[in-house]
Amino acid sequence: MRKFLFQGLLRSPLTEPVPTPADAAVAELADALAKASRRRLGRSLSIREVDAGSCNGCELEIHALGNAFYDLERFGLRFVASPRHADVLLVTGPVTKNMREALERTYAATPDPKWVVAVGDCAFDGGVFAGSYACVGAVSEVIPVDLHIRGCPPDPVTLLQGLIALVEPRM
Amino acid sequence: MISLQATMRGGRAVQDSRPWPRHVIDQTGWLRVIREISKGHGDMLDLWSDGVDVHMLILDHESSDIGIVTIECPNGRFPSAGHMHPPALRLERAIRDIYGIDADGSSDERKWLDHGRWGVRRPGVKAEPSEASGDAYAFLAAEGAPLHQIPVGPIHAGIIEPGHFRFSANGEVVVRLEERLGYAHKGIEGLMVDAPLDRAARLAGRVSGDSTVAYSLAFAHAVESALEIEVPPRAIYLRALMAELERLANHIGDIGGICNDASFSLMHTHCAILRERVLRASQLCFGHRLMMDRVVPGGVASDLTMEGAVALHALLSGAKKIIPRFIELFGDTTSIQDRTVGAGRLRSELAKQYGCGGVIGRSSGRNFDARRHPGYAPYPELSFKVASAHAGDVDARVWLRFDEIKASFGLMEQILDQAPQGPIRIESLPTSSETCEGAALIEGFRGDIFVWVRLGAAGAVQRCHLRDPSWFQWPLLEAVIEGNIVADFPLCNKSFNCSFSGHDL
């Protein structure tokens, strides 16, 4: 173990430069984020992830945000265990009907001001599962969505671009 | 006495069922099959319905033959397998929820996937509208003065799939865990009905995102068996390359995740770095980090370039250096061993009874690996060892993952050396003039994935059934947690890493 720790001190970090926020994400957020609320929260946001019935692909890439290459926490973004602690809900999946109420209750349990980011093609419009008897479809049909990050699944850079737009001052 | 094999070959053989025969047997035969399996003479690998009949996939131990038996259900009923063979219980509950076919004599009448939220009942056949207000669920009782219940989920504290766990605990010690699943049910089998092949393949690739290659491969194999298609040799090797990359990425991620659940974050951090390198190599080689939609019926969708092969060699040589150091780090850190050794022990009899596949089964005395048996190209041409252990605890499951990682290294090197040049895909798939059926067992990182498909004359899917290995692993998690402390549940759970989405369909 000592060797691992020692090498960690000597080697340069793996963490990569900050990607610039995607233009589309910034435009979408312009309406959603009032300057005042941004000032109140500073550059730090707590995120609660909600899997509303995804295939788990989006979760894998959201997990990857925490690795040394992307290091999400350097942006003041961190995942929290309870919606009570969250500013942002990161929702994936085509919102299965079996998860609908859980999602609604999570949203209700999140204190204001709050934002919802819908991650992945399923969360946008149901994706390949659209039209199923067991799925609601878009997250926006259940709770208001402030930002969509598309992809199946979106890769970590795309996720970062969207999330940075939440905390960076508006261009 | 009539053997299991003879019963499997009895009754009426169904035409055009490939690669394994399917026999329609009568009630006596059906009961005999269940009895033989409950005595341990064979494994029940799956139990499912096409909306009309009920089918069972069986591995006969004596002959190692695989076969499908079918019982007709004209009155919407069939004799329960679950009352003699408990692994069938949840599958029977799912069949009842989706298709309204009842298992006579089942000891569990509760709904499973149907939470009373769909607005319909029996969506797989003649769907009836119903109130979507949600059903109450009767959890099994655990009674006694000091017991308390801890409900967890469907939304968990981490970035995890949805599911509900109900713990009954005596202080810190878990007396009973009961799972309630189905939250991620997306109605995939319903969406498969009448889907053209390309759409069906995309759906199959999204049953469980972490096993997208294995599912796509299983679906492709099933379709190719049904249509009797030979895939170009290069495609066969590239498929195996993707499958091993997927196994590698997941096993590395799981080892890190298990360590993280015991607060050994150093290991987690380094595993996450290596996993990211594997995903980046996958992106470079095949154009998608998880390699979704890269395995398609008839071949593969993207070829491996020279540049890609070089990147894979570099990845492998780096990983082969770092993995022994991970092993050293894990093995030499007594504080993590203190958590993993003896925790969540799965008895080999239970693993055998449930026909439990994957790392979980193989670290509890089983040696079933679909790459070996029934086996599929190119694995018979490659040399690899199927690791197996008996300890059955969290520790054994970590070590077995290390063994499988090393085996994957060897496999990938052989594949890179031996992959022939040539086309990677059949340009246009033939269509069958009649209805035909195909099936496949593919070894994903979690265990054996089974896909059964019935294709119509037009080439579209009539019915498709996909069985995740988790069906036979989730119930065992309930068993292994008994007597462990609540705080060790995440550790045990992660060492199983069952799929919610794959199970819920």
Predicted pLDDT at B432: 81
Token pair recorded at residue B41: 């003479």
Compute the distance between CA of residue B120 and CA of residue B410 in angstroms, rounded to an integer: 50
CATH topology of domain B4-129: Beta Polymerase; domain 2 (3.30.460)
Smallest Cβ–Cβ distance between B134 and the set A96, A101, A134 belongs to A101
Nearest to A127 by CA among B272, B209, B504, B372: B209
pLDDT tens track for B320-362 = 999 999 999 999 999 999 999 999 999 999 999 999 999 999 9
Q: Say which amino acid occupies B264.
A: F
Q: H helices of B100-196, where?
A: 188-192
pLDDT tens track for A95-132 = 999 999 999 999 999 998 899 999 999 999 999 999 99
Least confident among A30-34, A73-77, B146-150 = A30-34
Predicted pLDDT at B400: 97
Could you tell me the end-to-end alpha-carbon distance of chain B, in angstroms, rounded to an integer?
A: 39
Q: Chain A partners of B189 at a C-beta cutoff of 8 Å?
A: none
Q: Which pLDDT band, with edges at 50, 70 and 90, does A27 fall under? A: low
How is chain B split into domains, by residue range? 4-129, 188-504
Is the CB of B374 inside 8 Å of chain A's CB atoms? no
Nearest CA in chain B to A57: B209
Could you tell me the end-to-end alpha-carbon distance of chain A, in angstroms, rounded to an integer?
A: 45
Nearest CA in chain B to A84: B157
Is the CB of B182 inside 8 Å of chain A's CB atoms? yes
Q: Which residue has the higher pLDDT, A7 or B258?
A: B258
> Given the DSSP bridges, would you call strands A88-92 and A115-119 parallel, antiparallel or unpaired?
parallel
Compute the distance between CA of residue B94 and CA of residue B182 in angstroms, rounded to an integer: 9
Compute the distance between CA of residue A24 and CA of residue A42 in angstroms, rounded to an integer: 22
Q: Cβ distance B370 to B442 under 8 Å?
A: yes
Token pair recorded at residue A65: 């945000």
Q: Chain A partners of B332 at a C-beta cutoff of 8 Å?
A: 1
ipTM over 0.90: yes
Is the CB of B272 inside 8 Å of chain A's CB atoms? yes
- B39: pLDDT strictly greater than 80: yes
Token pair recorded at residue B278: 């594997």
Least confident among A4-13, A56-65, B73-82, B96-105 = A4-13
What DSSP string runs through B79-128?
E-STTT-GGGHHHHHHHHHHH--EEET-S--S-SS--S-SSEESTTSS-E
B209/A62 touch (CB, cutoff 8 Å), yes or no? no
Smallest Cβ–Cβ distance between B186 and the set A1, A69, A135 belongs to A135
Identical topology for domains B4-129 and B188-504: no
Predicted pLDDT at A171: 43
- B194: pLDDT strictly greater than 60: yes
Predicted pLDDT at A37: 60
Q: Chain B partners of A71 at a C-beta cutoff of 8 Å?
A: none
How far B128 CA lies from chain A's nearest CA (Å)?
12
Token pair recorded at residue B473: 């692993």
- B132: pLDDT strictly greater than 90: no
Predicted pLDDT at A76: 87
Nearest CA in chain B to A99: B183
Q: Which pLDDT band, with edges at 50, 70 and 90, does A38 fall under? A: low
Smallest Cβ–Cβ distance between A100 and the set B117, B190, B212 belongs to B117
Q: Give all strands of the β-sheet with B12-13 in edge-to-edge order.
A: B12-13, B22-24, B66-72, B53-60, B42-49
Is the CB of A102 inside 8 Å of chain B's CB atoms? yes
Compute the distance between CA of residue B450 and CA of residue B405 in angstroms, rounded to an integer: 23
pLDDT tens track for B409-430 = 999 999 999 999 999 999 888 8
Q: DSSP letter for B485, please.
A: B
Q: DSSP letter for A154, please.
A: P
Is the CB of A169 inside 8 Å of chain B's CB atoms? no
Q: Chain B partners of A1 at a C-beta cutoff of 8 Å?
A: 266, 329, 332-333
How far A131 CA lies from chain B's nearest CA (Å)?
8
Helix A57-64 and helix A156-167, axial crossing angle in degrees, nearest 10: 60
Nearest CA in chain B to A126: B186
What mean pLDDT value characterizes chain A?
A: 89
Q: Say which amino acid occupies B199.
A: R
How far B427 CA lies from chain A's nearest CA (Å)?
24
Compute the distance between CA of residue B223 and CA of residue B213 in angstroms, rounded to an integer: 15
Nearest CA in chain A to B206: A55
B132/A97 touch (CB, cutoff 8 Å), yes or no? yes
- B485: pLDDT strictly greater than 50: yes
Smallest Cβ–Cβ distance between A96 and the set B185, B208, B279 belongs to B185
Smallest Cβ–Cβ distance between B209 and the set A4, A55, A81 belongs to A55
Compute the distance between CA of residue B288 and CA of residue B62 in angstroms, rounded to an integer: 43
Residue with tokens 């060492």: B495
CATH topology of domain B188-504: Cytochrome-c3 Hydrogenase; chain B (1.10.645)
B209/A58 touch (CB, cutoff 8 Å), yes or no? yes
Span B70-78, mean pLDDT?
95
Testing the interface with A: which of B125, B155, B498 to mutate, by most A Cβ within 10 A? B155
Q: Cβ distance A137 to A92 under 8 Å?
A: no
Interface of A with B in 2-41 (CB under 8 A): 3-5, 14
